[in-house]
């Protein structure tokens, strides 16, 4: 074993080395080592910190996996209030802003910085002598929440700056669109409520009392303002951006220094069309007087600085009519109400249905059949009805009530105390069955290639498939009788299904669709139990001993395996040759 001094020296070396690789990977997108090499460094540091716990510093990258859960977030009072921005919607309003600024300053010599307005949530980070000591949400601008432990888990946020400065910076935590879609897909698969848009996903992920959850979410952050700094000279916003970059922060590369407001307007126009090219949501352009001396001279109104303004892009909202309200039954039996719309073009695509989330949402917004409604497409995702326009009512609108019986199977619909979701309790509900099989076959589950939801529905309707195990019994001669199937496509499907018999256990566990068991949990379970039988035999106590498993998940797993119907399905899968153990060769 290393001496304490050796360990301390090596730990410091590793911290610097790991953080350098974090920076290369997460900020510059230019990794220099492989994931395996990175993991090796991380493991070495973790081993040292385990042997000498007091050597773990607050800027150790091992904290990026998330520390101990909190009971509540502490309130922090911002040293510099986090103001908001006034909005402009037209070039005319930007010209008026420019005129106001010049009149106020008594000079025509004003340049601007135009930056993308990232649609995430504001954080203020405090560094002392180059070390991150506090991360806070904006809150009401005066007081926010201390989310330091969570901020530390965001890999692109420097725990230590390249210079030992004390400063406060402001930035935006956000989630990239593809990461958001993947997160929602996993939540859907685990029967958990989805986030409405990337911003809500980012906010929900940052405001978790358990930093380990935050660590598991793909968050990122751009920084754009220096609120205070000691011992460095920054004279303009343009310099502030390079200063932030130099310190190790991720700074959005699209900012532009503009000589006058017409250049700002050109930048706004350019990004109005280019905004869909970037992987994150932007909802406008922030225009800032470049000279910090001028900015200070301009001061602020009650809420917003006079030298900055947000140019907001037209919302991706449109007005249309809700022709009908319908419900969709999901894999876990949850009934989701949706509006069938008069088709309308929103943000570049035609929308003809929009989610209404749940019964409370409909009541709260008083959405009725026949209403004129505002629909929004948030982040290229599921469109939603945002509100109704009651002034357009004609008196023929009808109140919508959730069905008390499942529209697919006629079983009772129940709504548990304290839950927003209404569920169909039918054990043999065809909608649940269909969605369950679609999930079983989906990419992140068993990954049966060439199976679309339509094919699964077709197989069920044809009476060829009653459960997931039946997929493995499909024969080419049965398939060729179906519409859209030829000898070739029948052969391909049978082969694609057969190829999944030897999948890793984690995929199979996830594919079963046990509530609250997402991909990550499935992987943990496969690693721990190594066979389906061992997992099925586990009791709650055994499951709770696993760090990633909480009471909700444990209870759900136990009740899944207690259900006779589910045990029968597993036996059928086993009989069909599906691998039930980890690390065993696939049966021929």
Give the nearest distance from C-beta 96 to ligand IVH in angstroms.
18
**Residue with Cβ nearer ligand IVH (286 or 388):** 286
In DSSP terms, 122 is beta-bridged to: 172
**359 neighbors 413 (Cβ within 8 angstroms):** no
| By the rule CB under 6 A, 224 interacts with ligand IVH | yes
Nearest distance in Å: CB 277, ligand IVH: 17
Question: How many other CB atoms sit within 10 Å of the CB of residue 35?
Answer: 9
Tell me how far, at minimum, the Cβ of 447 lies from ligand IVH, in Å.
38
Q: Out of 15, 64, 78, 117, point to the residue binding ligand IVH (CB under 6 A).
A: 117
User: Contact between 221 and ligand IVH (CB under 6 A)?
Assistant: no
DSSP-based three-state secondary structure for 322: strand
Q: Which residue among 11, 101, 118, 512 contacts ligand IVH (CB under 6 A)? A: 118
Q: How far is CA 546 from CA 506, 527, 536, 580, in A?
A: 16, 11, 15, 21
Range 295-314, binding ligand IVH (CB under 6 A):
305, 308, 310
> Which H helix or E strand runs over 127?
strand 121-128
CB-nearer residue toward ligand IVH: 118 or 517: 118
Stretch touching ligand IVH by CB under 6 A, among 83-91, 406-414, 460-468, 480-488: 83-91
* Site mask for ligand IVH (CB under 6 A), range 272-291, x = bound: --------------x-----
Q: Any alpha helices (H) in 275-328, and if so which ranges?
A: 292-298
Q: Does 220 bind ligand IVH (CB under 6 A)?
A: no
CB atoms within 10 A of CB 105: 18
Which residue out of 117, 250, 288, 377 is catalytically annotated?
117
- The alpha carbon of residue 50 and the mean position of all alpha carbons in its chain are separated, in whole angstroms, by 32
Any catalytic annotation for residue 117? Answer: yes
Q: Apex CA 41: angle with CA 40 and CA 46, to 5°?
A: 95
Q: Could you give the CA distance from residue 381 to residue 515 in angstroms, rounded to a whole number? A: 23
Q: Which two tokens stand for residue 283?
A: 């909802």
Stretch that binds ligand IVH, among 37-45, 110-118, 531-539, 559-567 (CB under 6 A): 110-118
Q: Give the three-class secondary structure for 280.
A: coil
Residues 6+ apart with CB under 8 A from 276: 348, 380
Told to check if 225 binds ligand IVH by CB under 6 A, we report yes
Q: Between residue 167 and residue 206, which ones bind ligand IVH under the rule CB under 6 A?
A: 172
How many residues touch ligand IVH under the rule CB under 6 A: the total is: 14
Q: Are 130 and 165 in contact (CB under 8 A)?
A: yes
Cβ atoms of residues 441 and 421 within 8 Å: no
Q: Which is nearer to ligand IVH, 20 or 274 (CB)?
A: 274
Least gap, CB of 170 to ligand IVH (angstroms) = 6
Q: Which of residues 531-550 bind ligand IVH (CB under 6 A)?
A: none
By the 8 A CB rule, do 239 and 101 touch? no
What's the closest the beta carbon of residue 248 comes to ligand IVH, in angstroms?
18
Give the closest residue to 28 by CA, choosing from 255, 280, 249: 249
Among 45, 55, 76, 85, binds ligand IVH (CB under 6 A): 85
In the complex, the residues that contact ligand IVH under the rule CB under 6 A are 83-85, 115, 117-118, 122, 172, 224-225, 286, 305, 308, 310
Active site residues per annotation: 117
């Amino acid at each position: 074993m290393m001496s304490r001094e050796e360990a301390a020296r090596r730990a410091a070396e590793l911290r610097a080395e790991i953080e350098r690789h974090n920076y290369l990977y997460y900020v510059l997108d230019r990794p220099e080592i492989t994931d395996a090499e990175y993991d090796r460094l991380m493991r070495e540091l973790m081993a040292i910190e385990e042997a000498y716990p007091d050597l773990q510093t607050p800027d150790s990258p091992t904290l990026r996996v998330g520390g101990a859960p909190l009971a509540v977030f502490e309130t922090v009072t911002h040293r510099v209030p986090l103001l908001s921005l006034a909005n402009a919607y037209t070039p005319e309003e930007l010209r008026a802003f420019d005129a106001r600024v010049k009149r106020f300053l008594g000079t025509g010599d004003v340049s601007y910085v135009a930056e993308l307005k990232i649609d995430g949530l504001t954080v203020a980070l405090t560094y002392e002598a180059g070390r991150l000591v506090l991360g806070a949400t904006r809150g009401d601008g005066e007081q926010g929440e201390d989310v330091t432990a969570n901020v530390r888990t965001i890999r692109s946020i420097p725990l230590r700056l390249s210079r030992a400065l004390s400063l406060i910076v402001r930035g935006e935590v956000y989630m990239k669109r593809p990461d958001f879609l993947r997160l929602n897909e996993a939540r859907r698969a685990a029967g958990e409520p989805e986030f409405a848009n990337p911003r809500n996903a980012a906010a929900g992920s940052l405001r978790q009392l358990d930093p380990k959850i935050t660590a598991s979410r793909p968050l990122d952050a751009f920084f754009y303002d220096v609120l205070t700094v000691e011992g460095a000279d920054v004279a303009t916003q343009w310099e502030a951006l390079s200063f932030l970059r130099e310190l190790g922060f991720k700074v959005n590369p699209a900012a532009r220094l503009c000589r006058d407001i017409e250049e700002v307007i050109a930048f706004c126009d350019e990004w109005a069309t280019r905004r869909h090219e970037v992987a994150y949501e932007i909802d406008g352009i922030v225009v800032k007087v470049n000279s910090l001396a001028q900015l200070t001279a301009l001061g602020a109104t009650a809420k917003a600085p006079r030298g900055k303004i947000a140019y907001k892009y037209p919302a991706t909202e449109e007005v249309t009519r809700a022709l009908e309200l319908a419900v969709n039954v999901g894999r876990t039996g949850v009934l989701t109400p949706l509006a069938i719309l008069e088709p309308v073009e929103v943000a570049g695509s035609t929308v003809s249905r929009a989610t209404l989330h749940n019964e409370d949402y409909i009541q709260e917004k008083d959405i009725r059949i026949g209403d004129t409604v505002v629909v929004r497409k948030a982040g290229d995702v599921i469109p939603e009805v945002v509100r109704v326009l009651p002034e357009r009512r004609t008196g023929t609108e009808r109140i919508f009530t959730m069905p008390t019986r499942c529209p697919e199977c006629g079983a009772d619909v129940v709504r548990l105390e304290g839950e927003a979701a209404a569920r169909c309790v039918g054990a043999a509900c065809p909608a649940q069955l269909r969605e369950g099989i679609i999930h079983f076959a989906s990419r992140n589950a068993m990954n049966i290639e060439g199976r679309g939801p339509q094919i699964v529905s077709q197989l069920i309707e044809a009476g060829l498939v009653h459960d997931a195990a039946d997929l493995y019994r499909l024969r080419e001669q049965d398939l060729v009788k179906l519409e859209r199937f030829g000898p070739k496509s029948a052969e391909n499907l049978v082969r694609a299904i057969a190829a999944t018999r030897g999948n890793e256990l984690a995929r199979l566990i996830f594919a079963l669709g046990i509530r609250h068991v997402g991909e990550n949990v499935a992987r943990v379970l496969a690693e721990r139990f190594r066979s389906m039988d061992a997992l099925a035999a586990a009791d709650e106590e055994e499951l709770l001993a696993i760090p990633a498993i909480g009471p909700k998940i444990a209870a759900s797993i136990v009740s899944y395996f207690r259900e006779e119907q589910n045990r029968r399905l597993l036996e059928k899968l086993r009989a069909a040759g599906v691998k039930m153990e980890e690390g065993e060769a696939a049966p021929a």
